[in-house]
Amino acid sequence: MTSKVSILVPVYNVSKYIERCAHSLFQQTFEDIEYVFVNDCTPDNSIEKLQKIIDRYPTRKSVKIINHEKNRGLAAARNTAIDNSTGKYILHIDSDDYIELDMVEQLYQVAEKKQADITVCDFFRETARQTVICYDFIAYDREERFRNILTVEKSEGYIWNKLIRRELYELPDCRLPAGLDFWEDLYVVTLFYYYTNKIAKVDKPLYHYVMYNENALTNNSCNKKHYENVLLFWRLLDKFLQEKGVFEKYLDIIEKQKLQIKITLIFNTKSATLRHQYAEMFAAEEKKRRNTLKLVEKVMFFCAKRKYLLWGASVIRNLLLIKGKILKWLYAVKKPLEPPQKQLCTMKI
Residue 245 φ/ψ region, left for φ over 0, alpha for ψ in the -120 to 50 degree band, beta for the rest: left
Q: Which residues pair with 99 in a beta bridge?
A: 207
The b/e string for 148-179 (b: 16+ C-beta within 10 A; e otherwise) is: bbbebeebbbbbbbbbbbbebbeeeebbbbee
Q: Domain spans of the chain?
A: 5-218, 222-334
In contact, 180 and 188? CB cutoff 8 Å:
no
311 class by beta-carbon count within 10 Å (0-12 exposed, 13-18 middle, 19+ buried): exposed
How far is the C-alpha of 349 from the C-alpha of 337, rounded, in Å?
Answer: 29
How far is the C-alpha of 235 from the C-alpha of 298, rounded, in Å?
Answer: 24
Q: How far is CA 117 from the centre of its chain?
A: 19
In contact, 121 and 206? CB cutoff 8 Å:
yes
One-letter amino acid at 114 equals: K
Sequence-separated (6 or more) residues with CB below 8 Å from residue 217: 74, 181, 182, 225, 226
Q: Give the chain's length.
A: 349
Biggest CA-to-CA distance, the chain: 65
259 class by beta-carbon count within 10 Å (0-12 exposed, 13-18 middle, 19+ buried): buried
How far is the C-alpha of 269 from the C-alpha of 41, rounded, in Å?
Answer: 28
Nearest to 88 by CA among 166, 177, 186, 35: 166
How far is the C-alpha of 199 from the C-alpha of 191, rounded, in Å?
Answer: 13
222 class by beta-carbon count within 10 Å (0-12 exposed, 13-18 middle, 19+ buried): buried
Sign for the CA dihedral angle at 323, 324, 325, 331 comes to positive
Sign for the CA dihedral angle at 13, 215, 77, 228 comes to negative
**Domain 5-218: CATH class, spelled out:** alpha beta
Nearest to 185 by CA among 214, 215, 205, 162: 162
pLDDT (0 to 100) of residue 201: 98
- Distance linking the first and last C-alpha atoms of the chain: 30
**Alpha-carbon dihedral angle through residues 256, 259, 263, 264, given to the nearest 10 degrees:** 70
pTM here? 0.86
Q: Which helix (H) or strand (E) holds 314?
A: helix 310-334
> Torsions phi, psi of 94, nearest 5?
-80, 140
Could you count the other beta carbons within 10 Å of the beta carbon of residue 252? 10
Residue 41 φ/ψ region, left for φ over 0, alpha for ψ in the -120 to 50 degree band, beta for the rest: left
One-letter amino acid at 172 equals: P
Sequential pLDDT tens for the chain (349 residues): 789 999 999 999 999 999 999 999 999 999 999 999 999 999 999 999 999 999 999 999 999 999 999 999 999 999 999 999 999 999 999 999 999 999 999 999 999 999 999 999 999 999 988 999 999 999 999 999 999 999 998 999 999 999 999 999 999 889 999 889 889 999 999 999 999 999 999 999 999 999 987 766 555 578 999 999 999 999 999 999 999 999 999 999 999 999 989 888 887 888 878 888 888 899 899 889 888 887 767 766 666 666 544 444 454 445 444 434 433 433 444 444 444 444 555 666 6
pLDDT (0 to 100) of residue 65: 98
pLDDT (0 to 100) of residue 53: 97
